[in-house]
Amino acid sequence: MNAPRPRLVLIDGSSYLYRAFHALPPLSNDAGEPTGALFGVVNMLRATLKDKPDYVAFVVDAPGKTFRDDLDPQYKANRPPMPDDLRAQVEPMMQVVEALGMPILRVPGVEADDVIGTLAVQAATHGIDVTISTGDKDFAQLVRPHIALVNTMTGSRTDSDEAVIEKFGVRADQIVDYLSLMGDKVDNIIGVDKCGPKTAAKWLDEYGTLDGVMAHADEVKGKLGENLRAVLHRLPLNRELATIRTDVELEQAPTDLALRERHVEDLKVLYARYGFKQALKELEGASGEGGAGDGGDAGGASGSARAGGGATGLRSTAAGYARGSSADDEALDPALAAPGEYETVFTDAQLSAWIAKLRAADEFAFDTETDSLDAMRANLVGMSFAVTPGAACYIPLAHDYPGVPAQLDRAAVLDALRPLFSDASKRKLGQHGKYDLHVLRRHGVDVAGYADDTMLESFVYNATATRHDMDSLARRYLGYETIPYEQVAGKGAKSIPFPQVAIDDASRYAAEDADVTLRLHRVLAAKLAAEPMLQRVYREIEMPLVPVLTRMEATGMKVDGDELRRQSADLSRRMLAAQQKATELAGRTFNLDSPKQLGALLFDELKLPVLVKTPGGAPSTNEEALEAIADQHELPRVILEYRGLAKLRSTYTDKLPEMVNPDTGRVHTSYHQAGAATGRLSSSDPNLQNIPIRTDDGRRIRRAFVAPEGRRIVACDYSQIELRIMAHLSEDAGLLRAFAAGADIHRATAAEVFGKAIDAVSGNERRAAKAINFGLMYGMSAFGLARQLGIGRGEAQDYIALYFDRYPGVREFMERTRQQARERGYVETVFGRRLYLDNIHARNQGLRAGAERAAINAPMQGTAADIIKRAMIDIDGWLAGHRERALMVLQVHDELVFEVEANFVPTLLEEVSGRMAGAAELRVPLVVDSGSGQNWDEAH
């Protein structure tokens, strides 16, 4: 054997201090000095010294700038100052390190990482075995022969390429590229939005290096692909920032770092002072295992209040930007990005002057600032206005902090503004104005003439760009960087409510909102004007829908909270029974909610076969997987039972009662008008578009959506609307005939495909036909159909071939749609709404196939969305004369729900059905089914 190589341990001091601080409870000594982090670090140091390294260094950052700061002024710009409780532990830590006899390295102008990197490489090339002791994954890039990482907090050791691959999914030489893709929040390195370890590893596996990923960026589909392309230009900089230098000038060589004699007396004093009993005992020659210090106070619970201090709805969501559409490659006008001049209105004279300006204009932009993101609870804190680009004002109304300047009276200001807001001929414009309409309405101001909304302009112009918040739009269409909300109000737990934001800061932020909205409108209105069909979708569908949705949200729906709580109790009881049964069957306890633990139990311990994998490659425990092994063990069935119950309770019966607004006693969902690229609405807080209906337990939840005394719930839904649209678009003779005859479309399809008379179709055949019908609309393959029906792939292929044989128009329609997507880069709905497909020409087969499936689905899903939106606008207009008797309360894609006076039900059914059916003239009739009852379940 060779002589043992000498060993060098390089300790990443800052990393351990911070990690120990976060990982350990906030311990303190008898004098009340914080000691948690110190305790962690000291234990780590003692463990390190037990192995008796030949050389050792404790490396920490020196204050001052480094080359990374020069590369990127934003580097580490987000870092909050060190918490006081941690700062207090730094000096004691250095004293302990010193007393232990460890050399301390703190090199001005060089980050600790680079000191460690340089020493490690030098030592390794001079016959020394190096261990880097750190909790920071970035160091994985240094792993190579004779350089290993160890994390003594977790006990993990990474000492080979295999170990790096096992941990990160990439080789050590790919780590820098991997980090560049993910970015680093704490260092303020902007990576690819939504790209985490899995995605980064997948891309690097596929394309080898960062350069490879960048070269193939146009093949990556979906939002991730957009996000990747958006930050492409930054990635080389990220690589530089993430690369640990191994060539900096240092005064010390590795061999200068011999461990010195420890200073026992100093250590005794320090250990005693901070209460490290175990360490003290060891020092005094005794030994023993045991208690790791007295527990201090446990970390205090924090409020779970939603992030307050919201401004304009989407405005305050996180940044992150998407590439502009394929339709707007023009250069941006630099004048658009110039800073604005803003005025804060404190006096009546200033207010009068601004009102005069607003009166003189045809159109103005406005925005509200509030103390909550929830429009149904938010209080008005200030308002801003803009009439000409670059000039805006902010009127503070309810800022409240010590020394706050006198502000105008809120009620008086609103009274003065009311005539402007109620004048429908005065065009108002906003960004996500539905939010502001709610706020003003709740403060006694009804807005008429809400004429333009930049979020909706952007959505109609290019729905593929996923973000339509103001910050993203300003960046994309103006080249303008807005002031982030976090900059004025802080972020997360440290954020302050908007009323406490200094008026000066609030003014810059809020006035900018109105100014930028106006600038954006100028740009986007011109773009839309150049596309007459899109212009119509915007003018005739999206804008008129805004007040309709506002009314529906404001109305809300009555929910019987007590009924839901009873259901929760019942579900809990049954969950407990399932859990006990599962424990019995497993022979041990485990967390039924943890797919990881469940997978280990089923597939490792019980050795059940893995028939389904997750997209991440792990054995799946989803419903399909559990069904597949349910005949081999009792446990999977019990898990399925538990899952079903847990889902209902956690998502619905527990949560919905919490969401009842105390002022109205109802739940007020938010509809997101720019939510789904196809033009559908989405619903959140709570999402009322995914309330269960398929199982009996699920459907019970709908019984809690009730009508008040004397009223009924009425539900009207389109029958098979997307298939009817497919018939319309494909003009397939067979499909048109079936719908014209009013046939049960799945049964009719089965009769055609299986060559039988309508009456001879079996239940199973109808089920298969239904799967084909739906599958086709989603672009499903034979493989998918086979899986869905549990049949062979060949058989599934036969069904599909037979289908296309009987309905050749459908095949042609699908080919035509793909063709159009390829030629023009987009597909459109019957009403001209467009969806761009960024990946339709991707070289990557999977991405391209995905884009083709989306292309086939979008015209049908989108046309259905257009139709029901038109119906809603029409119905809302009719309901204007009947507000006391009937309210439109919900939309669920192909269904509208109303709350109606009992004696008005027949009228409403007739009117609504007629207006829904008449919302479009297609080659097939639109059929509407409806029902009524005391609750939403009965109405079906």
Partner DNA sequence: ACTGCTGCGTAC
Partner DNA sequence: GACGTACGCAGCAGTG
Q: Which is nearer to DNA, 454 or 620 (CB)?
A: 620
CB atoms < 10 A from the CB of 448, how many?
A: 13
Q: Which is nearer to DNA, 282 or 685 (CB)?
A: 685
Q: Report the nearest approach of DNA to the CB of residue 882 (Å).
A: 26
Beta bridge mates, 55: 8, 258
Query: Alpha helix locations (H) across 630-744?
Result: 635-647, 655-658, 696-702, 721-730, 733-740
Select the residue interacting with DNA from 589, 695, 764, 903 (CB under 7 A): 695
Q: Which stretch binds DNA (CB under 7 A): 500-508, 536-544, 677-685, 919-927?
A: 677-685
Q: Report the nearest approach of DNA to the CB of residue 421 (Å).
A: 29
Q: Which is nearer to DNA, 135 or 313 (CB)?
A: 135
Q: Which of 310, 676, 315 is nearest to 517 (CA)?
A: 315
d(C-alpha 613, C-alpha 595), whole Å: 12
Q: Does 693 bind DNA (CB under 7 A)?
A: yes
Q: How many helices (H) and strands (E) does the chain have?
A: 37, 22
Select the residue interacting with DNA from 9, 10, 13, 15 (CB under 7 A): 15
* CA 147 to centroid of chain Cα atoms: 39
Residue found by looking up tokens 């232990």 in the block: 100
Binding mask 698-727 for DNA (x = CB under 7 A): x-----------------------------
Select the residue interacting with DNA from 694, 710, 823, 921 (CB under 7 A): 694
The b-or-e profile of 860-897 (16+ CB within 10 A means b, else e) is: bbbbbbbbbbbbbbbbbeebeeeeebbbbbbbbbbbbb
Binding mask 31-70 for DNA (x = CB under 7 A): ----------------------------------------
Q: Which stretch binds DNA (CB under 7 A): 237-245, 284-292, 489-497, 762-770?
A: 489-497
What is the DSSP annotation of 526-584?
A: HHHHT-HHHHHIIIIIIHHHHHHHHHHHHH-EEB-HHHHHHHHHHHHHHHHHHHHHHHH
Q: Which is nearer to DNA, 368 or 620 (CB)?
A: 620
Q: Which is nearer to DNA, 344 or 857 (CB)?
A: 857
Q: Report the nearest approach of DNA to the CB of residue 149 (Å).
A: 12
Q: Which stretch binds DNA (CB under 7 A): 14-22, 106-114, 389-397, 417-425?
A: 14-22
Q: Report the nearest approach of DNA to the CB of residue 611 (Å).
A: 12
Q: Report the nearest approach of DNA to the CB of residue 511 (Å).
A: 27
Q: Does 690 bind DNA (CB under 7 A)?
A: yes
Q: Which stretch binds DNA (CB under 7 A): 205-213, 565-573, 776-784, 823-831?
A: 776-784
Task: Scan residues 218-247 and list those touching DNA (CB under 7 A).
Answer: none
Three-state secondary structure string covering 493-541: HHCCCHHHCCHHHHHHHHHHHHHHHHHHHHHHHHHHHCCHHHHHHHHHH
Q: Which is nearer to DNA, 436 or 894 (CB)?
A: 894
d(C-alpha 802, C-alpha 813), whole Å: 16
Q: What is each CA distance from 663 to 554, 556, 565, 712, in whole angstroms?
A: 12, 12, 20, 22
Task: Scan residues 823-852 and list those touching DNA (CB under 7 A).
Answer: 845-846, 849-850
Q: Does 774 bind DNA (CB under 7 A)?
A: yes
Q: Report the nearest approach of DNA to the CB of residue 620 (Å).
A: 4
Beta bridge mates, 388: 391
Q: Report the nearest approach of DNA to the CB of residue 390 (Å).
A: 33
Task: Scan residues 778-807 and list those touching DNA (CB under 7 A).
Answer: 778-781, 783-785, 787-788
Select the residue interacting with DNA from 229, 491, 633, 770 (CB under 7 A): 491
Q: Which stretch binds DNA (CB under 7 A): 236-244, 637-645, 876-884, 914-922?
A: 637-645
Task: Scan residues 171-210 and list those touching DNA (CB under 7 A).
Answer: 184-187, 193-199
Select the residue interacting with DNA from 165, 610, 640, 917 (CB under 7 A): 640
Phi, psi of 231 (to 5 degrees): -110, 15
Select the residue interacting with DNA from 300, 662, 710, 881 (CB under 7 A): 300
Task: Scan residues 606-635 and list those touching DNA (CB under 7 A).
Answer: 614-618, 620-623, 625-626
Which residues, at least 6 apart from 159, have a Cβ–Cβ distance to it below 8 Å? 143, 148, 149
Which residues, at least 6 apart from 617, have a Cβ–Cβ distance to it below 8 Å? none
Task: Scan residues 131-160 and list those touching DNA (CB under 7 A).
Answer: 135-137
The b-or-e profile of 396-408 (16+ CB within 10 A means b, else e) is: bbbbeeeeeeebb
Select the residue interacting with DNA from 71, 77, 80, 819 (CB under 7 A): 80
Which residues, at least 6 apart from 131, have a Cβ–Cβ distance to it below 8 Å? 7, 8, 9, 10, 53, 148, 149, 150
The total number of residues shown for the chain amounts to 940
Binding mask 735-764 for DNA (x = CB under 7 A): ------------------------------
Task: Give the three-class secondary structure for 346.
Answer: coil
Task: Give the three-class secondary structure for 923.
Answer: coil
d(C-alpha 586, C-alpha 197), whole Å: 32
Q: Does 85 bind DNA (CB under 7 A)?
A: no
| Tokens coding 330 | 């023009």
Q: Report the nearest approach of DNA to the CB of residue 708 (Å).
A: 23
Q: Report the nearest approach of DNA to the CB of residue 544 (Å).
A: 22
Q: Report the nearest approach of DNA to the CB of residue 856 (Å).
A: 8
Q: Which is nearer to DNA, 328 or 654 (CB)?
A: 654
Task: Scan residues 373-412 and list those touching DNA (CB under 7 A).
Answer: none
d(C-alpha 806, C-alpha 748), whole Å: 11
Phi, psi of 718 (to 5 degrees): -75, 135
Q: Does 521 bind DNA (CB under 7 A)?
A: no
Task: Scan residues 854-913 and list those touching DNA (CB under 7 A).
Answer: 854, 857-858, 861, 892-895
Select the residue interacting with DNA from 771, 872, 873, 920 (CB under 7 A): 771
Task: Scan residues 576-595 and list those touching DNA (CB under 7 A).
Answer: 591, 593-595
Q: Which is nearer to DNA, 379 or 682 (CB)?
A: 682
Contacts of range 417-424, beta carbons closer than 8 Å, 24 or more positions apart: 417/355, 417/383, 417/445, 418/444, 418/445, 420/355, 420/358, 420/359, 421/445, 421/446, 421/447, 421/448, 422/446, 422/447, 422/448, 423/448, 423/449, 424/448, 424/449
Residue 543 identity: M
Q: Which stretch binds DNA (CB under 7 A): 28-36, 546-554, 673-681, 931-939?
A: 673-681
CB atoms < 10 A from the CB of 51, how many?
A: 11
Q: Does 650 bind DNA (CB under 7 A)?
A: yes
Contact 788, 775 (CB under 8 A): yes
Task: Scan residues 421-460 and list those touching DNA (CB under 7 A).
Answer: none
Q: Report the nearest approach of DNA to the CB of residue 445 (Å).
A: 28
d(C-alpha 553, C-alpha 438), whole Å: 9
Task: Give the three-class secondary structure for 19.
Answer: helix
Q: Which stretch binds DNA (CB under 7 A): 121-129, 247-255, 646-654, 902-910?
A: 646-654
Q: Report the nearest approach of DNA to the CB of residue 604 (Å).
A: 14
Binding footprint of DNA, residue count (CB under 7 A): 104
Select the residue interacting with DNA from 52, 65, 79, 573 (CB under 7 A): 79
Q: Does 569 bind DNA (CB under 7 A)?
A: no
For 5, which DSSP code?
Answer: P
Q: What is each CA distance from 719 to 246, 390, 905, in whole angstroms?
A: 68, 51, 20
Q: Which is nearer to DNA, 337 or 849 (CB)?
A: 849
| Tokens coding 654 | 């527990």
